[in-house]
Amino acid sequence: AQSVTQLDSQVPVFEEAPVELRCNYSSSVSVYLFWYVQYPNQGLQLLLKYLSGSTLVKGINGFEAEFNKSQTSFHLRKPSVHISDTAEYFCAVTTASGGYNKLIFGAGTRLAVHP
């Protein structure tokens, strides 16, 4: 069975500071990895995804993530955060294939950006 662990439930950070949100996964097969963001009172928006190829993936709003197979990690980073980045961030994993496989979510990390 697959699982996702988001190591920090909450991450407070000051505006313009860098941030890293940590995600580790467990799987016996190859995986696809995703980060979704949920702004207050909104649904989930896809931030970025890793399917194959370069292990450094760039997403929207200046975020990027690096797939590290040996450490089974997919940490999300941004060099300089804004107040508007305050949101809940979810890491998710699924089995790598051309068809559908169930998406497994982490518990989420609440990013709070302070002025």
Partner 1 sequence: SAVISQKPSRDICQRGTSLTIQCQVDSQVTMMFWYRQQPGQSLTLIATANQGSEATYESGFVIDKFPISRPNLTFSTLTVSNMSPEDSSIYLCSVFLSSGGSTQYFGPGTRLLVL
Q: What value, to the nearest 5°, has the Cα angle with vertex 106 and ends 105 and 108? A: 120
The answer to the question of residue 35 lying near partner 1 (CB under 8 A) is no
Least Cβ distance, residue 79 to partner 1 (angstroms): 25
DSSP label at 98? S
Least Cβ distance, residue 73 to partner 1 (angstroms): 19
The answer to the question of residue 107 lying near partner 1 (CB under 8 A) is yes
Least Cβ distance, residue 67 to partner 1 (angstroms): 14
Residue from 24, 89, 90, 93 in contact with partner 1 (CB under 8 A): 90
**What count of other Cβ atoms lies within 10 Å of the Cβ of residue 32?**
17
Residue 62 phi/psi, 5° resolution? 80, 5
The answer to the question of residue 106 lying near partner 1 (CB under 8 A) is yes
Contact region with partner 1 (CB under 8 A), list: 10-18, 21-29, 36-44, 75-83: 36-44
Residues 6+ apart with CB under 8 A from 25: 2, 3, 4, 5, 31, 33, 72, 73, 74, 91, 93
Residues that bind partner 1 (CB under 8 A): 32, 34, 36, 41-46, 49, 51, 90, 94, 97-103, 105-108
